[in-house]
A = this chain, B = another copy of it.
Amino acid sequence: MTDHPALPRVLARLDADAEAATARLFDFLRIESISTDPAYKAPCKAAAEWLAAELRGIGFDAAVRETPGHPMVVGHTPGGSGPHLLFYGHYDVQPVDPLNLWTAPPFEPVIAEGPGGPEIRARGAADDKGQLMTFVEACRAWKAETGGLPANVSFLFEGEEESGSPSLIPFLEANREELKAELALVCDTGMWNAETPAISTMLRGMVGETIIVKAADRDLHSGMYGGPAANPIRVLSKILASLHDETGRVTLPGFYDGVEETPPDILAQWEALGFRHEEFLGAVGLSEPAGERGYSALEQIWARPTLEFNGIEGGYTGAGFKTVLPAEAFVKISCRLVGKQDPEAIRAALRARFEEMLPPDCTVEFEGKAGGSPGIVMPVDDPRFAAAREALSAEWPREAIFGGCGGSIPIVGHFQDILGMNSLLIGFGLDDDRIHSPNEKYSLTSFRKGARSWARVLGALGG
């Protein structure tokens, strides 16, 4: 394959424009677009408007499109030629608590020197504002140098990715013809390591629930009622403790239906990657894989399902002590899914476990999280995947890999189901980006070489 003749000029322009690109990203990062908290509705709207204005500034058509939740941004390249590609990203970010662990305010981006070089620190730096801007900057450079893009690109940015995407499916269904393309490009994943880019071809799905156990109709004094009164924290603990056996396996009936063992040849490829759990876990203060016994840490992340407790609360949690028997306690549970696991069957099994183990006088309520999604596997024999891999390999010190991804990107399943297209998942996040955590960062190298990578991939996929 030969490179597009304009590519060297496009890459040179990206280099020349790098400072301005960082400033643009900083503007975007300052917008407090936390989608899960209704208090941040206005900043979410502002982030959408900012993105639409950016695309129009480059010379594309773009508009903010309302939904019952946070709006979408949809853009097109007028007069586009070549294969039709739909680029997807999300402008919303995770909440920032615990705020006291941030070394700088989460919405005041800074460049700081990190262990791996300069890094952009802010909520959303990596997930997903910095990532999606690598693609926008690549398009800007192509447009500026050649007057157009090498492919017919459309854009879809959503603002509810971190809060279950309740508006996504209706929007895709209502705009099927407008959004349908030959291939989706998604920038919300990571590199294998700082030198090795990756195309993610396996994604875990997800299903989540908030579950509330209630007993007495008020908080009780543990001196007066302690003994005969049911305690929701105790009930919750017993049920949660029942959900994993001593080997780390989930005990819900049917949980592993549709989960296949990873084929030996794939396992062999993964072993050749030289992944060391000591390093991966050591970076966050851990040492031993705590998941299903008998599987490597990499397999636990890429190819095995999980059931995790994301939050729990009940009773008095302030300073000091209060000898209360709480009226209720709740837990937030999410399962990462692989293979053909059915999210709704697993939700039903989880609910059934709570119903079955509930003692007298207790009730349980379920607040299902919208958007349960199954796991995904992409067709790695598609020649466009090979072309993208080659383009990435030209930019980075090491050859790009096809890998798994422990996270969930439900959009990929919806693109398959609703728009009938596969997704090329390329991203430049690193394991130490602290996404969803305090002090989230995005390597400046990821941002700059990411934009150059997309410029190359656009050239390689273009007509």
Contacts and interface: CB of A to CB of B under 8 A. Distances in A.
Contact of A286 (B216, B310, B436): B216
Interface string A227-260: 1111101101110111010000000000000000
Of the candidates A240, A286, A431, A438, the one having the most CB atoms from chain B within 10 angstroms of its own CB is: A286
A310 B361 CA distance: 18
Contact of A436 (B164, B308, B324, B330): B324
Contacts of A190: 224
Contact of A38 (B221, B319, B323): B319
Interface residues of A, number: 99
Interface in A311-360: 311-326, 329-332, 334, 336, 359-360
Contact of A314 (B234, B312, B334): B312
B286 A215 contact: yes
A223 interface: yes
Nearest to A226: B306
Nearest to A240: B237
B311 A406 contact: no
A178 interface: no
A364 to B, nearest CB: 15
A95 interface: yes
A204 interface: yes
A414 interface: no
Nearest to A319: B37
Contacts of A361: 281, 285-288, 290
Nearest to A234: B309
A225 interface: yes
Contacts of A204: 223
Nearest to A246: B238
A360 B289 CA distance: 9
Interface in A397-412: 405-408
A336 B224 CA distance: 10
A434 interface: yes
Contacts of A287: 360-361
Contacts of A407: 221, 223-224
Of the candidates A204, A231, A329, A408, the one having the most CB atoms from chain B within 10 angstroms of its own CB is: A231
Given A312-B233, A313-B313, A316-B95, A290 B323 contact: no
Contact of A322 (B206, B227, B311): B311
A217 interface: yes
A321 B320 CA distance: 28
B221 A323 contact: no
A437 B312 contact: no
A194 interface: no
A92 to B, nearest CB: 11
25 contacts: A35-B320, A95-B320, A164-B320, A204-B223, A219-B437, A223-B405, A224-B431, A226-B406, A227-B301, A228-B289, A228-B300, A229-B284, A231-B308, A231-B309, A233-B309, A233-B310, A237-B240, A240-B241, A281-B361, A285-B361, A310-B321, A310-B323, A311-B322, A312-B312, A312-B315
Given A223-B408, A287-B360, 8 more contacts: A218-B437, A221-B407, A228-B277, A308-B325, A312-B313, A322-B436, A323-B436, A324-B437
